[in-house]
Structure 1
Amino acid sequence: MVKLNKIYTKTGDDGTTGLVVGPRRPKYDLRVAAYGTVDEANSTLGLVRLNCKDHEKIDAVLLRVQNDLFDLGSDLATPDTGEDLGFEPLRIIESQTIWLEETIDDFNAHLEPIKSFTLPGGSALAAHLHLARTVVRRAERDATELKAQEADVNAQAIKYLNRLSDLLFVLSRIANDNGKSDILWTPGKHR
């Protein structure tokens, strides 16, 4: 377990930060941005969970996801250098992504197929889930760009983010009275 006696270290005062392994990086580095966006997604899910009072199943799912996102942040903060680190780095594994897929299928089984794109909104919970979904999509874009530039990004981490955004969309429909309160997109020419 982690034990923090002192919260500030002053080591980042020069505009750099330490990864789990490897040299310090500038705080604007793409790897730092990628795991920072995962952290932002996790924080957004914390806000989403404040709206889950009547949705215990959704809350339980999101709690597990928040723990997985800590794993994912550690995964991105630990470049695969190919050298022996003296410990096994934390990585997103296939079973975590499969759990997302099974959870999506379980929730989606109760929904009617959508006939239009949906707009973020309806209930407060659904709107917050959509916000979290867009932050997760940004994390996915950051991780994908990082993989293109540095190549040592765990492919499962990117898959996990992709499935997570799908799960958040499905959960937004559940939060909107199983899709009955979804706000459907109406193209401008049809208004």
Structure 2
Amino acid sequence: MVVLNKIYTKTGDAGETALGNGARVAKHAVRVTAYGTVDELNATVGMARLHAEGDMDRLLSLIQNDLFDLGADLCRPDMEKDSEAGYPVLRMVTAQTARLETEIDEMIKRLEPLRSFILPAGSALSTQLHLCRTVARRAERLTVELATMESVNEAAVTYLNRLSDWFFVAARIANDEGRSDVLWVPGANR
């Protein structure tokens, strides 16, 4: 159980923060930037939920919980030392990505195939989901960059990759199942 009885600690005033294993690093470290971007993504999902109802809201709620799991995973380096932690270390698992894939497959059944690229526009929910997609892509790029320097759970990278696909398909669903998608017209303003 998490207990937050004091929000400010003053331990980060010099530009450092603690990782999940207690190590102190610069706040601009790639690992911190990666999980900070996952936190930003979670906030954009919360904004999308302002426009979502029913099943879409339920699915976005699941994603928000997954994103906290992902942040917990990314904030703890040294996966090979997980057994030394003295408690179960939270890591992303392939089942979370498999759930996204199942949801994508179900949504795609409701859509006509695309014959053009689409603009991030249309309904308020669709536009917000496109914003989620772009923030997810940035979080993925940062996590992949981190993986070139330190060990990263492969399930975390795969989840982020699939999540941006999920947001793309969900944005089409939010545009009247693709019927209100705004198509890109190449060179339209030349």
1:50 match: 50
1:165 match: 164
Q: Distance in 1 between matches of 2:50 and 2:23?
A: 38
CA RMSD, 1 decimal: 1.2
Q: Distance in 1 between matches of 2:31 and 2:54?
A: 34
Indicate the SS of the match to 2:9.
coil
Q: Which runs of 5+ in 2 are unaligned?
A: none
Q: Give TM-score scaled by structure 2 length.
A: 0.96
1:125 match: 125
Q: Name whichever of 76-85 and 107-116 sits farther off.
A: 76-85
Answering whether residue 27 of structure 2 is matched by residue 9 of structure 1, we say no
Listed as ranges, the matches of 1:137-156 within 5 Å are: 137-150=137-150, 152-156=151-155
Indicate the SS of the match to 1:146.
helix
1:107-129 deviations in Å (ceiling 9; x for gaps): 11100000011100110110000
Asked if 2 retains the 8 angstrom alpha-carbon contact of 1:22 and 1:79, the reply is no
Q: Give TM-score scaled by structure 1 length.
A: 0.95
Please state how far the C-alpha of 1:93 moved relative to its aligned partner: 0.1
1:67-115 deviations in Å (ceiling 9; x for gaps): 0000000000011252311122110001000000000001111000000
Q: Name whichever of 137-146 and 17-26 sits farther off.
A: 17-26
Runs of 4+ off more than 6 Å: none
Q: Name whichever of 83-92 and 171-180 sits farther off.
A: 83-92
Asked if 2 retains the 8 angstrom alpha-carbon contact of 1:147 and 1:153, the reply is yes
Indicate the SS of the match to 1:188.
coil
Cα 1:81–1:171, aligned 2, differ >3 Å: closer, same or farther?
A: closer
Cα 1:119–1:189, aligned 2, differ >3 Å: closer, same or farther?
A: closer
Please state how far the C-alpha of 1:51 moved relative to its aligned partner: 0.7
1:178 match: 177
Q: Which runs of 5+ in 1 are unaligned?
A: none
Listed as ranges, the matches of 1:27-66 within 5 Å are: 27-52=27-52, 55-66=53-64
> What is the one-letter code of the residue matched to 1:156?
A
Indicate the SS of the match to 1:153.
coil
Q: Distance in 1 between matches of 2:101 and 2:80?
A: 30
Indicate the SS of the match to 2:148.
helix
1:71 match: 69
Q: Distance in 1 between matches of 2:129 and 2:159?
A: 17
1:105 match: 105
Asked if 1 retains the 8 angstrom alpha-carbon contact of 2:79 and 2:152, the reply is no
Please state how far the C-alpha of 1:22 moved relative to its aligned partner: 4.5
Q: Distance in 1 between matches of 2:108 and 2:2?
A: 37
Listed as ranges, the matches of 1:86-105 within 5 Å are: 86-105=86-105
Task: Provide the identity percentage.
Answer: 56
Cα 1:36–1:63, aligned 2, differ >3 Å: closer, same or farther?
A: same
